[in-house]
Amino acid sequence: MITPEQQAQLEKLMRHALSLAGHGPITGGNPQVGCVLVDATGQIVAEGWHHGAGTPHAEVDALAKLGAGDVDASELGGSATGTGVRHVAAGLTAVVTLEPCNHHGRTGPCAQALLDAGVSRVVYAVPDPGPDSGGGAERLRDGGVEVIAGIARAEAEEFLHSWLTATRLQRPHVTVKWASTLDGRAAAADGTSQWITGTAARQHVHEQRARADAIVVGTGTVLADDPSLTARGDAGELLEWQPQPVVLGRREIPADAQLRQHPEKLRQIDGSDLDAALSELFEAGIRRVFVEGGPTIASAFIAAGLADELLIYLAPKLLGGPQVALGELGVSTMAEAKDLSITELRPLGNDVLIVARPATETRA
């Protein structure tokens, strides 16, 4: 049992570990994880975070900074058998945002690295739902380490929302975005749709693209709008991370389509089976998908119960007419309406961003 004071101190340390986690990339398939090592007096002696897929995990990154000259991250991360035991962290507590992993992936199991380093206590926020990677807490307990789970769990779950969703459901987390007028139109009667929202909202969209592993559009949008689907900064420059462009549908993408100039390889998938399309993307390592339309594709994801988050950019304009932002959702009566809860409401220039999630859980 821990006292309320200890609980409060661990929550504070966990929040710090979460802020460290945020230094790592949200893209690339791996979770953002942070770790602090504290001594018996509660002083932080080392900090670490995960710098992206293929690099050492947060725990190993922190252990490597302990100043034990002869220990390097690769050695710690690769130590699964207890060879190279050094007890560099004897008596320390590791505060880590995600349950230490228990598997040999691209690096070794962190639970074993923590055991080898001799930590006496491990505190984590969220259990790892991964079928292979989970179970680190048990391994640590079996090794005689005190383990405290669930500190600041709600905050950490919110922080890791998309990765946890993808790992639990074994399909990418799906964000569906659209921009519309206040009366829900995404284009004028003649089909013109540029520009519904202003620059602040459009810049926000670019930032969201840069936080996704893939951007998904339908062939209809490619043929109608010829989008480039790159993530760009204020001055039109390409941002560092570019999501992979994915086109759903069977119609041919023209040879001179702007999408063909995208820095990442264009992927086209038959869009008639969204489950199969998402499986293919998950297999390819994609964990965050940003669906940018048009209305047919957006509606299909929502109707299928596969939209985990909606980003709706509303412009203070009215268009009326037939070009609605969403089409058929399989809803024929009020009782079947898709209920949402709004998680964020933010002015962006003259426009408004609404972030919403389905009121009930989405499906695998």
Please report where in the chains the tokens 């049992």 appear, as a residue.
Answer: 1
Q: Which residues are CB-neighbours of 150 under 8 A, at least 6 positions away?
A: 125
Give pairs for 325-331: CB < 8 Å, separation 24+. Answer: 325/178, 325/180, 325/184, 325/185, 325/186, 325/295, 325/298, 326/178, 326/184, 326/295, 326/298, 326/299, 326/302, 327/295, 327/296, 327/299, 328/299, 328/303, 329/299, 329/302, 329/303, 330/303
Clarify whether 5 is annotated catalytic. no
Q: In this chain, which stretch among 105-113, 260-268, 292-300, 339-347 interacts with ligand AOF, using CB under 6 A?
A: 105-113
Q: Which of 10, 13, 17, 58 binds ligand AOF (CB under 6 A)?
A: 58
Residue, CB closest to ligand AOF: 105
Please report, as residue ranges, which positions from 84 to 103 form the binding site for Zn ion (by CB under 5 A). 101
β-pairing, 93-98 with 34-38?
Answer: antiparallel
Task: Compute the least distance from the CB of residue 73 to Zn ion, in Å.
Answer: 11
β-pairing, 267-269 with 34-38?
Answer: unpaired
Cross-strand bridge partners of residue 47 = 36
Task: Compute the least distance from the CB of residue 57 to Zn ion, in Å.
Answer: 3
Which helix or strand (DSSP H or E) is residue 5 part of? Answer: helix 4-21
* Distance spanning both ends of the chain, measured CA to CA: 37
Q: Which of 14, 17, 50, 173 binds ligand AOF (CB under 6 A)?
A: 50
Task: Compute the least distance from the CB of residue 216 to ligand AOF, in Å.
Answer: 22
If contact means CB under 5 to 8 A according to the sort of partner, which of Zn ion, ligand AOF, none does residue 136 touch? none
Q: Which of 93, 107, 112, 299 binds ligand AOF (CB under 6 A)?
A: 107
Instruction: For residues 132 and 289, give the distance between their C-alpha atoms in angstroms, rounded to a whole number.
Output: 23
Q: Which of 14, 21, 110, 151 binds Zn ion (CB under 5 A)?
A: 110
Q: Which of 57, 139, 177, 287 binds ligand AOF (CB under 6 A)?
A: 57
DSSP 8-state assignment for residue 360: S
The site string for ligand AOF over 214-243 (x = CB under 6 A, - otherwise) reads ------------------------------
Contact status: 122 vs Zn ion (CB under 5 A): no
Task: Compute the least distance from the CB of residue 103 to Zn ion, in Å.
Answer: 8
Q: In this chain, which stretch among 100-108, 247-255, 300-308, 353-361 interacts with ligand AOF, using CB under 6 A?
A: 100-108
Closer by beta carbon to Zn ion, 101 or else 125: 101
Closer by beta carbon to Zn ion, 107 or else 219: 107
Annotated active-site residue in 11, 47, 59, 158: 59
Instruction: For residues 316 and 23, give the distance between their C-alpha atoms in angstroms, rounded to a whole number.
Output: 35
SS3 130: coil
Cross-strand bridge partners of residue 180 = 314
Q: Annotated catalytic sites, by residue?
A: 59
Q: Which residues bind ligand AOF (CB under 6 A)?
A: 30-31, 33, 50, 53, 57-58, 98, 101, 105-107, 110, 128, 130, 133
